[in-house]
Amino acid sequence: MERITVELGERSYPIYIAADFSGLGNAFRKAGIGGKVLVVTDSNVGRLYLETCMAELASAGALVCSHVIEAGEKSKNLDTVKDIYRQLAAQRFDRNSTIAALGGGVTGDIAGFTAATYMRGISYVQIPTSLLAQADSSIGGKTGVDFEGVKNIIGAFYQPRFVYINISTLRTLPLRELRSGLAEVIKHGLIKDAGFYDYISLNMQKIFEFDESTLRHITRTNCSIKKSVVEQDEKESGPRAVLNLGHTIGHAV
Ligand SMILES: NC(=O)c1ccc[n+]([C@@H]2O[C@H](COP(=O)([O-])OP(=O)(O)OC[C@H]3O[C@@H](n4cnc5c(N)ncnc54)[C@H](O)[C@@H]3O)[C@@H](O)[C@H]2O)c1
């Protein structure tokens, strides 16, 4: 299992890159977080990976339960956050509890925002399963929801305790979502690393064939680019805005 560290002083955290979920329990133990864990996932990802992830976390001694949201951007709102708050309160989650976001960027943004605000902030971990989330959204601590038709207008900067990327989950990602995530990967090449851009162009076929060493290289490079920008400007007061290349027009479309 590879490990890259996002260096943010006392908010530093590791990104693990693996080809299965077998190291998840260990990552959890190493982070020194115990107690209750609520795995937040969506209806598609939950069907595929929830059981395995819950078993891994339980093997690390966590008391695990789950919350499944309906898949898609339409769930990214305060009503979904309220539903999760209700479960956290009903099951007496406290300041030592943790939320695990298992899914794409929608799940990660919602779960992270809930963690940032429940009891003024509890721990959360990111287990991204879409290419977009593995390349971009799970790293850097941007959390939030849409409100009254405006994307990401309610939110917080709140860093996870670790990010666990299992590249094999990309095999079940719908082709359209793989292509959509690839746009963020190409964007990283365009803004920071011309050599990486060339690598993507040359290895496009291998990406769509899920070649493990290609996916590992891509994930490693993405994480390094994203982490270096976040380390320079955690709260986007300047240089981090470069990562928004194409977002304004993308959101409008
Ligand atoms: N926080 C950040 O820094 C940041 C950065 C970029 C984008 N975002 C946000 O991310 C969101 C988009 O993320 P996304 O593209 O991952 O969307 P998503 O979370 O909706 O996932 C896309 C679809 O793929 C499915 N899916 C995910 N992983 C799967 C898997 N392994 N197998 C099968 N199906 C799977 C999901 O159920 C969903 O239907 C947007 O809301 C955007 O605003 C956040």
Residue 222: pLDDT over 90: yes
- Pairwise CA distance, residues 196 & 217, whole Å: 10
Residue 250: pLDDT over 90: no
1-10 pLDDT, tens digit per residue, is 999 999 999 9
Average pLDDT over residues 207-217: 96
Residue 248 binned pLDDT confidence (cut-offs 50, 70, 90): confident
Residue 237 binned pLDDT confidence (cut-offs 50, 70, 90): confident
Residue 133: pLDDT over 90: yes
User: pTM for the complete prediction?
Assistant: 0.97
Average pLDDT over residues 162-191: 96
pLDDT for position 66: 98
**Which residue has the CA at smallest separation from atom 16 of ligand 1?**
104
pLDDT for position 194: 94
Residue 169 binned pLDDT confidence (cut-offs 50, 70, 90): very high
**Tokens matching residue 164:** 């666990």
- Pairwise CA distance, residues 85 & 195, whole Å: 45
- Name which of 212, 251, 15 is nearest 133 in CA terms: 15
Residue 165: pLDDT over 90: yes
**Tokens matching residue 238:** 């300047």
Establish whether residue 63 lines the binding site of ligand 1, counting it when its CB lies within 6 angstroms of any ligand atom. no
Average pLDDT over residues 94-106: 97
- Pairwise CA distance, residues 4 & 62, whole Å: 24
pLDDT for position 34: 79
22-49 pLDDT, tens digit per residue, is 999 999 999 998 789 999 999 999 999 9
Q: Are 185 and 218 within 8 A, CB to CB?
A: yes
Pick the more confident residue, 249 or 162: 162
**Which residue has the CA at smallest separation from atom 42 of ligand 1?**
105
**Which residue has the CA at smallest separation from atom 13 of ligand 1?**
105
Residue 242 binned pLDDT confidence (cut-offs 50, 70, 90): confident
Mapping DSSP onto H, E and C, the string for the chain reads CEEEEECCHHHCEEEEEECCCCCHHHHHHHCCCCCEEEEEEEHHHHHHHHHHHHHHHHHCCCEEEEEEECCCHHHCCHHHHHHHHHHHHHCCCCCCCEEEEEECHHHHHHHHHHHHHHHHCCEEEEEECCHHHHHHHCCCCEEEEEECCEEEEEEEECCCCCEEEEHHHHHHCCHHHHHHHHHHHHHHHHHHCHHHHHHHHHCHHHHHCCCHHHHHHHHHHHHHHHHHHHHHCCCCCCHHHHHHCCHHHHHHC
Establish whether residue 132 lines the binding site of ligand 1, counting it when its CB lies within 6 angstroms of any ligand atom. yes
Q: How far is the CA of 201 from the centre of ligand 1 (A)?
A: 23
Establish whether residue 133 lines the binding site of ligand 1, counting it when its CB lies within 6 angstroms of any ligand atom. yes
**Which residue has the CA at smallest separation from atom 5 of ligand 1?**
137
- Of 65-69, 101-105, 173-177, 187-191, the least confident: 187-191
pLDDT for position 188: 93
Backbone phi and psi for residue 182, each to the nearest 5 degrees, phi listed first: -65, -30
Establish whether residue 146 lines the binding site of ligand 1, counting it when its CB lies within 6 angstroms of any ligand atom. no
